[in-house]
Amino acid sequence: MANGQTMGPNDSHVVSLYVDGQETVAPTRAATVGEFISKAHITLAESDLVEPSIKTEINSDNFRIQVYHARPVTIIDGTNIKHVLSPHKSAKLIAEKAGIAVYPEDKLTTTTTSNFVQENILGEKLIIDRATPVTVSLYGATPILYRTHSKTVGSFFKERGITPESGATVTPSLNAPIATNLPIFVSKMGKTVINTEETVAFPVESTPDPTQPLGSINIITPGVLGKKQMVYEVELRDGKEVGRRVLQEVVTVQPQKQVQTKGTKAPDMSGDRVSWMRAAGISEADFYAADFVIGHESGWRPGATSGSGCTGLGQACPGRKLAAACPNWQVDPVCQLRFFSGYANRYGGWQGAYNAWLRQHWW
C-alpha cells in the first residue's frame, strides 16, 4: 500500500533525476515528467530546461529526467554584447538560443570573469571569435563561400586541403593576406570542369550506459551531416562526357559529431514470454528488442485490445488482420509472435522496430 492505494507492477517506475548534474534515484507513480517535477517540489523558472519535455509519459523503469537551471551568461561577439539567462552547457546552443547565428568555423570560448565590477559582467562569459568569410572558385566552378581563421591565402589552402595543379594560376597570390569577403580564383587554361556538392557522414561518439536497456540509444547531441565540393575535370568526345577525374575535393561544411549513450543493461528474460519467443523462431539476439516493443504495446497480454480496434501482443490495426493469420489469436501467443515478426520486417527486423519505437513511441 502507498498513499492508501494498491500499487500493481505498472503503477510505479524508478526515475533517475539529474538536477544540474546531481543524480537522485527515486520510485514514482507520476504519469508524466511534469507531474513528477511537481511532486518532487522542483521550482522551474521560465528559462530553465527539462529533458524530456514535461508532457512526456513516464512508461518504464530507469527513466531519465534532466533539469538544467538557467544562469546568467554575457555573450561578447566583437563589439556586440548581450546578456542572457541560459540553461545550456553547449556554447553553440547558448548563442543560438540567444538568437545569434554562429558558424562551424567560429571559435566559441566560455569562461568566468575575474573582475565582475570592472567588466560589469555577472556569471559566465561566452566569447565569439568570428572566422573571416572568403569565396573560392576552382577552375571556373561556381564560387563557394568559406570561413577561416587563416592569415594568408596559402595557409587557408593548406587548412582546406586545396592543392592547385601544376601550371594553375592563383589570384590573389598564395602570400596575399586574408580579408573579409576576399574572392580567390584557381584557374588553368584548357580545362572543362564540373562541380558537385556531396554529403559527408558525421562521426558518432557512443558511451555505454548500464542503467538503460540493452541496445537502447539516447542521443545527447544529434549529428549533423557535412558537405564537400567535388571538382572534376571532364573528358569530352563529340560533345559527350567519356571520362572524368577528381581535381579537388574540399569539405565546405564540417560534419558535427553525434554524441549518444547506448544501453548495456540486459533485460530480465524470464517467464512465458521467453518460451513464446523461442517457439516463434525469434533469434535470442532479438529477444530484448521484441520484449521491449511487445511489452510497451500490450504488456505481453495475448488478448489485449484497444478502443480503436487494435488487438494482440503487438496491437495489430485493424484487429481482423491478426484474426486472419491466427484464428485463435487470444490464446495463441506463438502464432501472434510469428505474425508480428513479419510486421517487424518492415523496419528490417526487431532491432529496427525497436529503434523506430524509441523515436516515435509506436510502430
Q: Which tens digits make up the pLDDT trace of 267-284? A: 666 778 999 999 999 998
The answer to the question of residue 50 being in a domain is: yes
Q: Where are the beta strands (DSSP E) in 107-239?
A: 107-112, 124-129, 132-138, 144-148, 169-171, 182-187, 193-200, 204-213, 217-221, 226-237
The answer to the question of residue 82 being in a domain is: yes
Query: Do 334 and 303 share a structural domain?
Result: yes
The answer to the question of residue 35 being in a domain is: yes
Query: Do 96 and 172 share a structural domain?
Result: no
Block residue for cell numbers 565569439: 128
Q: What is the CATH number of the domain that holds 173?
A: 2.20.230.10
Q: Which tens digits make up the pLDDT trace of 55-104? A: 999 988 779 999 999 999 999 999 999 999 999 989 999 999 999 999 98
How many independent structural domains does the chain possess?
A: 4
Sheet holding 132-138, edge to edge: 144-148, 132-138, 182-187, 169-171
Q: Which domain holds residue 61?
A: 13-68
C-beta separation of 236 from 190 below 8 A: no
Query: Is the pLDDT reported for residue 2 higher than 70?
Result: no
pLDDT confidence bin for 8, thresholds 50/70/90: very low
Is the overall model pTM greater than 0.95, yes or no?
no
Query: Do 331 and 316 share a structural domain?
Result: yes
Q: Which tens digits make up the pLDDT trace of 174-192? A: 999 999 999 999 988 776 7
Q: What is the CATH number of the domain that holds 36?
A: 3.10.20.90
Query: Do 64 and 47 share a structural domain?
Result: yes
C-beta separation of 280 from 338 below 8 A: yes
Give the pLDDT score at 217: 78
The answer to the question of residue 7 being in a domain is: no
pLDDT confidence bin for 114, thresholds 50/70/90: low
Of 53, 68, 83, the position where a domain reaches its end is 68
The answer to the question of residue 116 being in a domain is: yes
Residue 256 identity (one-letter amino acid): Q
Q: Which tens digits make up the pLDDT trace of 227-269? A: 998 888 887 777 788 888 888 888 888 899 999 998 877 666 6
Distance CA 278, CA 281 (A): 5
Query: Do 160 and 199 share a structural domain?
Result: yes
Q: Which of 280, 279, 276 is nearest to 339 (CA)?
A: 280
The answer to the question of residue 1 being in a domain is: no
The answer to the question of residue 5 being in a domain is: no
Query: Do 19 and 58 share a structural domain?
Result: yes
Poorest-pLDDT segment among 115-124, 306-315, 351-360:
115-124
Task: Taking the CA atoms of 146, 148, 151 and 157 in sequence, report the sign of the dihedral they define.
Answer: negative
Of 212, 228, 261, the position where a domain reaches its end is 261
Give the pLDDT score at 242: 81
Give the pLDDT score at 120: 63
One DSSP character per residue, 163-176 reads: -PPTT-EEES-TTS
Residues in the chain: 363
Q: Which tens digits make up the pLDDT trace of 291-302? A: 989 999 999 999
Query: Do 244 and 290 share a structural domain?
Result: no
